[in-house]
A and B are shown apart, each in its own frame.
Chain A
Amino acid sequence: NAGVTQTPKFQVLKTGQSMTLQCAQDMNHEYMSWYRQDPGMGLRLIHYSVGAGITDQGEVPNGYNVSRSTTEDFPLRLLSAAPSQTSVYFCASSYGAGVNYNYGYTFGSGTRLTVV
């Protein structure tokens, strides 16, 4: 049981390049989310998903796309990287909203992205 796995751990992009941050979980969690964390700040929600085929925008969705074709995977795509997207990105998953569920989200170890 690996939990939430994020790849890559580090990435440097040039302005205008595109890339996909990968996130996979093996806990059969329905809910998955992407956050970004800037220095000295909290985590801000980018996009989230309550199940395969369902995604929605969070607090800061601009410049990012997501899809959820399987329960296990929730990739985050940067369409045209900008220096303002330099940040640490965290993926998280949870069982979801059910009476007997543990609602706490489990987080991956993060991807540190630098856009130059």
Chain B
Amino acid sequence: GESVGLHLPTLSVQEGDNSIINCAYSNSASDYFIWYKQESGKGPQFIIDIRSNMDKRQGQRVTVLLNKTVKHLSLQIAATQPGDSAVYFCAEILYNQGGKLIFGQGTELSVKP
């Protein structure tokens, strides 16, 4: 079926360490993936995206890796800061279903000073 899920619901890291948030998806037809950050009381905020014809994409302090063989993607945050504390969602766009955006469960990242 169509679902995007996360391996871990919570992640606690020390300030300055690198964070890795994982996500599994089940729809092999998915062509486009997005990571969102959601702070308390706010709407999701776009972080980085990746298309299925790529296996890695880098942004500012963030990197997304895509492994289509095992239907897995990850978000790496370098030198994690207290401001990175939030819930992170992976999401996929289903082009074969009108381009709708489907979210995974979410991982809460807590950064300890």
Contacts and interface: CB of A to CB of B under 8 A. Distances in A.
- Do they bind each other? yes
Interface of A: 4, 31, 33, 35, 41-45, 48, 50, 56, 58-59, 90, 92, 94, 96-97, 103-110
B101 interface: yes
Given A31-B99, A41-B105, A97-B99, A103 B93 contact: yes
Interface in B7-53: 32, 34, 36, 42-46, 49
Contact of A43 (B42, B45, B89, B99): B89
A34 to B, nearest CB: 11
A107 B39 CA distance: 13
B32 A103 contact: yes
B101 to A, nearest CB: 5
Interface residues of B, number: 21
A91 B32 CA distance: 20
Contacts of A106: 46
State the majority secondary structure of interface residues on B: strand
Contact of A105 (B101, B104, B106): B101
B45 A42 contact: no
6 contacts: A4-B43, A43-B44, A43-B89, A103-B34, A104-B46, A108-B43
B32 to A, nearest CB: 6
Contact of B106 (A41, A59, A96, A104): A41
Nearest to B93: A103
B102 interface: yes
Contacts of A42: 89, 103-106
Most chain B CB within a 10 A radius of its CB, from A4, A33, A107: A107
Contacts of B42: 109-110
Contacts of A107: 36, 43-45
